[in-house]
Structure 1
């Protein structure tokens, strides 16, 4: 049973449990609601929660554990001869899963019979061609062991899904019966339901933390696989980025330093544009603008934050780049040879970051107590002197935190860089040359017909790990500074 239909069945069981639990509680009280310990709805929710929560938890745990069990069972069918240089068992198993999913898709589309998909004596070349013709992702010619493992994978997956459906529905029915049996007029249903809701809220609050942990472990494991295939010393010391997709074990120069330099350079240009404009806009809106002007200008300024980054990228490609080229190109100073350059991406990214800096700085400046302003005015200071000597120094830690948050946002930007800065990985001080960033190379390394068993594809995870560490450090530093600022006035 598909997961969607399984969830719908669980919701139906929960609804039935709610109705039966509520009705049984009222019946036990002779229809007199005053004899019930709790409101009738609590008895219904008690039965519904007992039916839904354990069953959904089992569904999630089973869905997470089943792939690991199947992988471990099927990987034994992959011999050492299938693991070539530059590859490993985990990458071959990824190919097995792709073949299994491809077989499922072509069978579901009616392009192949179920019997042929499971035929252990089927022609491997014909199966490979059928999958490719159907648009399924097949990275190479399928071998007989890979096909046999994929067929075994399909059988185990189908059996596991069937057993999961039976177990989940049985647990939901058992929970519903348990909740309905508890529905008696003297049962403390409200207390049980409120404890259950509290537990659900705690679980919901933990999802963000668990998601972060999952992302980190995914990056760590795949980065470890990359460094098993490619020397870490070369990755952090080489000054050239020249990936080669000539096949598994092909020679490549995968130095991260040119990418880090491009990321840093473009982010600095963006901050040079965004910080002064955003800070001056925040000062004007918080200290000089009338309520009517502020009510109009602030939402209009923040509208920039709602524009998709792909639109900013097109703006960089079609407007900012040609405009810079007319001034700094061959017809001007002669410094710029093309529209794609660090300045193109940096200026466009800075425009995108203006509302980010201005909104945070505006909130921080407004948080400065009015008493500090009044004291400065009482000593004879003008408005500009008060802003320079009182308000900005008091708000400086928070403003620095806002700038660091904007910097982390700039470092993680992708589409503006792809369209505005080009794809050249180089170490150069010329802001009118094309460069690229870590995020842009992550996209390019995982786009197209890549050999996922090669270091050139796995390097995307190593790049992502370094980018994650960099942005995490900036975010932690920014939050620390903002928290220290807030402690002065709370």
Structure 2
């Protein structure tokens, strides 16, 4: 057989194969376009109802008001926003260091057998229904913290925030461990070659090399914490409060209401109509913008510090 005939046999494609490839291409494009269309549709409908709300309530009143009381048609979102940020900050203070430490252990210290057991066991936390976390915070965490003399109300910010932090640990640890595992072994071997210890390699080589992936895991976990609903709805109560700068710890002992819990309250109320009902979409749009900006910043920072290895 000649060389030309062999080359033609290798590069040629049967008509049926080309048709299947074309079908797969169109099918995959349809799936991608459908997901984008659904997302755009949700945002459009959310913005449409939010605009209806802002025709009845001034945006200045909504974004600068310090009181959220539906019965009195007071729609200041600042108490809800501060409640959301308070939960997110406390949850981040718990989940980020623990998640990164767990990722370092799984990536650098654990044996293959230990990793095969510990990583799936850690990720089981991500499969627990969030309402279970909320009930656990209400029934067990709050009484436990009271043993240490903390003056916690039945519904309080601290217990809910602790459980939100525990809930997002698997996301931080799993994504960070994946980023650390992607660091080439040649970097580790070079560090060991100049006498570095395992701790020095982990903190001075692996973590800096994987910083873009680690930071992305932080942003995704914080976005998940901001959007958490059931834990805060069960364990934090339903009364919104503006952050008290004069007595910061008091904000942890008492209950509060983040934006997601307020949306549940609005949707479950039978007598809410007009601007009260439409306010749910304004809160949702505000929450969407916050998480969108966080993910946008994550992508920019990850692209800025991403390392490429050949």
What TM-score results when the alignment is normalised by the length of structure 1? 0.57
* Partner in structure 1 of residue 63 of structure 2: 236
* Partner in structure 2 of residue 310 of structure 1: 131
Q: Secondary structure at the match of 1:422?
A: coil
> Is 2:209 the partner of 1:389?
no
- Pick aligned residue for 1:218 from 36, 45, 48: 45
Q: Secondary structure at the match of 1:431?
A: helix
- Pick aligned residue for 1:344 from 159, 173, 186: 159
Contact kept in structure 1, 2:70 and 2:276, CA below 8 Å: yes
Q: Secondary structure at the match of 1:489?
A: coil
Mark the structure with the bigger radius of gyration. Answer: 1
- Distance in 1 (CA, whole Å) between partners of 2:21 and 2:104 is 47
The C-alpha deviation readout for 1:399-443, integer Å capped at 9, x for no partner, is 111111100000000000011111121122321121111000011
- Distance in 2 (CA, whole Å) between partners of 1:450 and 1:370 is 62
Contact kept in structure 2, 1:450 and 1:457, CA below 8 Å: no
TM-superposed deviation, 1:395: 1.8
The C-alpha deviation readout for 1:63-102, integer Å capped at 9, x for no partner, is xxxxxxxxxxxxxxxxxxxxxxxxxxxxxxxxxxxxxxxx
- Pick aligned residue for 1:257 from 69, 78, 93: 78
Contact kept in structure 1, 2:212 and 2:303, CA below 8 Å: no
Give me the CA root mean square deviation: 1.9
- Distance in 2 (CA, whole Å) between partners of 1:398 and 1:197 is 31
- Give the gaps of 5 or more residues in structure 1: 1-37, 40-187, 245-250
> Is 2:98 the partner of 1:267?
no
Higher RCO (CA 8 Å, separation ≥ 6 residues): 2
* Partner in structure 2 of residue 372 of structure 1: 187
> Is 2:112 the partner of 1:291?
yes
> Is 2:223 the partner of 1:417?
no
- CA distance 1:281–1:206, change in 2 (3 Å): same
* Partner in structure 1 of residue 177 of structure 2: 362
- Give the gaps of 5 or more residues in structure 2: 1-12
Contact kept in structure 2, 1:267 and 1:410, CA below 8 Å: yes
- Distance in 1 (CA, whole Å) between partners of 2:19 and 2:203 is 58
> Is 2:284 the partner of 1:457?
no
What is the aligned residue count? 292
- Distance in 2 (CA, whole Å) between partners of 1:198 and 1:372 is 39
Contact kept in structure 2, 1:357 and 1:406, CA below 8 Å: yes
- Pick aligned residue for 1:437 from 245, 255, 258: 258
The C-alpha deviation readout for 1:342-382, integer Å capped at 9, x for no partner, is 11111001111111111011111111111111111111111
- Distance in 1 (CA, whole Å) between partners of 2:221 and 2:40 is 24
TM-superposed deviation, 1:448: 2.9
What TM-score results when the alignment is normalised by the length of structure 2? 0.89
